[in-house]
Structure 1
């Protein structure tokens, strides 16, 4: 009886699969976010068999490759030189080269360079494939203890408070866990703005994932903002996760203003029902508030 292929779920092969060098085209390769043992066998094969490796920082790439005894042609590719070097990369793809793109850590394109290169390679008809692996986004989400059936990754929040709050208002209606990357020096201020705009929500600060000093700190947004304001900024890479708000994360609005505007046309009951549908708030509470507003106006 023929031995089942090793890639079939639930089946175990007695033979390890042979090394698989990358195919010609653009290969997007994930690398460890901290623990070097989190590299995949396919990633090692791709790095060892590439004609050229594009790295966000060639020094970081060399440390990874040296750890596994891999040599190869490593070239810089990042936001500052991308426009200049993309034509050369596209020529290499046209010539049938095996090109590997990596970032400093994790999955390329996820708050890292690569989107424009992938876009242009696809438009030019070159093969583009992704080799999955480590990701701070998914690692943090898996262990956070927050709802993971629906989530939204929003990258880095703006550095200035005003634009940051505006961005948070745009995200407030999303009915799922929000995931951000954040820096230590901005963490307390970002948490304070999140508390101000999104209200009381569960939150998790996941720091230094897969590394020696990995830490998950859990609490309300307000409590975590106060903790980091008092204790100072934490070190290391940070993934910030914010749980859904009441009513599935619907947008906060000025309830009194909306009720006053709707009561003349819909009446107290109709106004309360409309706001309840829009926000997920309790209809009975809104009805009581609408009565008070109507009596106060009268």
Structure 2
């Protein structure tokens, strides 16, 4: 699932290519909105909200999309042949005289009134990359259920919006605890530092082509634990471990992180 910085970059690319220009092509390839035609309307802006994308169009309409695991928007010069995947995977096309955006494998695509955007994003907590960012409110929401595992609390977009599996694992490492430690056991001051670190990392990475959470410049070490199963921890040398539960993947260092290890038989 894309992280908030990835969605922010997607929104910026769409906004740069489409905002302020009249749509000359509109094709929504989902049954409910297949007859909707946005051509002739100016696309006003594309705004990220957590992991959601809101493309606002003249006339009080918003095209809402969510990338989830495999979705992507790709922008090409108008007239250029798109190559973001097979044509049958295209769910939306928005274009103007200069640029055309193709939405591939979008699991969520709907057209709604801009005044009703709260219906699809109103449940979200403070957006780590949004103008409404409120660290105190994020800490309050995270701590509302002190018995909940840290990783689950971080992934719940109702607490704070923008964290996925990568940042979940990296933030737990930087806090020195496993993602299965109950949030209430983090210790004084740790929740506030954790939230501040999350904001700092996403904000830094929103302008980078490659995500980085480490400060080392050694080749192949942009992340502390995520995707490094079996490789030595950059701090203590212990082999990084991995756990899978459905489509959720967690990485952690047994040497640097205290708390349960995700295996109920060991805890």
TM-score w.r.t. length of structure 2 = 0.25
Larger helix proportion, structure 1 or 2?
A: 1
Larger strand proportion, structure 1 or 2?
A: 2
* Bigger Rg over Cα: 1
TM-score w.r.t. length of structure 1 = 0.23
